[in-house]
Amino acid sequence: MPSDPTKLQKTKDIGIPSIAMCVARVPNSGRLIFGSSDFKLHEIDVFAEKPQPTPFGGEGHQSYVTGVVLPAPNVAVSGSYDGQLIWWDVEKREPTRKVKAHELWIRRLVISPDGKTIASVADDMQCKLWNAETGEMLRQFSDHKPITPHDFPSMLHAVAFSPDGKFLATGDKVGHVAIWEATSGSKVATVEAPGLYTWDPRQRRHSIGGIRALAFSPDSKWIAVGGIGQIGNIDHLDAPARIEIFDWQKGERKHELNNDKFKALVEDLVFDPSGKWLLSSGGAGDGFVTFTDVETGKPIHQDKLPMHVHQLALNESYDTVFAVGHHKIAVCEFKATEPPAASEPAKP
């Protein structure tokens, strides 16, 4: 049966002492490996009776850990604001390889569907592809300008592989998305989402926003772009959570969606395998999850979460969501509502 997001219920939230910036889930389990603002990787089994995060040891990162992927059963790879990629032995929770990957902050890691290639993006505006087994850099490319049109440093937050592994997308602060052929590194298309970028020329002379999340549809024909709409007060995330969906091969915008319920930043996007719904999550203090009908662009189901969410992981059947963020991990499950108990017949 296809999963039904209208049945979503938060079933557990777990306090953690730091901000979880990224997460990867060990397949067929409730074991999560997450990167944190305390510069460490941690492992936690959210289905344990008393879940407690256990930090990885050894000489690790020197700043926030902002990306983590699992290319093999006992291997994790993490990226950080320190510009390093670190390979870890998951069982021993110790580093096995370090690579100086980027000159500026690494913002996100993703892994190809076949598990062989890792993509990293950073504020040096480069996307780099790495051999997941050997750590060798395979290629690098960029179509993103380091300076915004208003002469501020830009940022490269978002990267995504298509489900067939043929394409890779990167998205920057001013709303520019480049789509690449993953094998050759050739650019095949671009789309523009300038509505996700705010420039305040009067009160603060400051820019904010940008593309924070990207996701390809299951057939790889559409790409969803997430962030925040035009911000009135740039000292706060005071604008609707915003998603744009493109038929990138035709260069056509399919949907332009401002979420009237949540003023927040979209930090992560996930299509379900059938392509019927798109899950978005993020926050601005508190967090949220929204399921959107891909065909109509209308919300199917929305819920608050108890923290700003940085990244999601889902189980194999796409009916359990694991969300990590500010000082909490939340588990949400698609659960049928219990029918009311039948009343006993009145006694004579």
The pLDDT tens digits for 154-166 are 999 999 999 999 9
- Measured CA to CA, the distance from residue 67 to residue 36 in angstroms comes to 9
The token duo for 167 is 């394409």
pLDDT attached to residue 2 = 57
Residue 346: pLDDT band (50, 70, 90) is very low
pLDDT attached to residue 207 = 56
Residue 200: pLDDT band (50, 70, 90) is low
Number of H helices, E strands in the chain: 0, 28
pLDDT attached to residue 240 = 86
The pLDDT tens digits for 60-97 are 999 999 999 999 999 999 999 999 999 999 999 999 99
3-state secondary structure of 266: strand
User: Beta strands 240-247 and 127-131: pairing type?
Assistant: unpaired
The pLDDT tens digits for 288-322 are 999 999 999 999 999 999 999 999 999 999 999 99
Residue corresponding to tokens 């062989």: 116
Percent of the chain with pLDDT over 90: 83
pLDDT higher than 50, residue 19: yes
pLDDT higher than 50, residue 343: no
Alpha-carbon Rg for the chain in angstroms: 20
DSSP 193-249: -GGGEEEETTTT-EEEE---EEEE-TTSSEEEEEEE---SSTTTT-SEEEEEEEETT
pLDDT higher than 50, residue 348: no
The pLDDT tens digits for 214-262 are 999 999 999 999 998 877 665 566 788 999 999 999 999 999 999 989 9
Residue 339: pLDDT band (50, 70, 90) is very low
Neighbours of 232 (CB within 10 A): 11
Q: Answer whether 22's CB lies under 8 Å from 33's CB.
A: no
Residue 336: pLDDT band (50, 70, 90) is low
- Rounded average pLDDT over 184-206: 81
pLDDT attached to residue 206 = 53
Residue corresponding to tokens 């291997």: 75
The token duo for 147 is 């300076």
List, in order of start, the domains of the chain with CATH numbers. 145-297 (2.130.10.10)
- Measured CA to CA, the distance from residue 131 to residue 101 in angstroms comes to 12
pLDDT attached to residue 96 = 98
The pLDDT tens digits for 256-289 are 999 989 988 999 999 999 999 999 999 988 899 9
The pLDDT tens digits for 110-152 are 999 999 999 999 999 999 999 999 999 999 999 999 998 888 8
Nearest to 152 by CA among 185, 174, 121: 174
pLDDT attached to residue 151 = 84
pLDDT attached to residue 237 = 63
The token duo for 146 is 């380091």
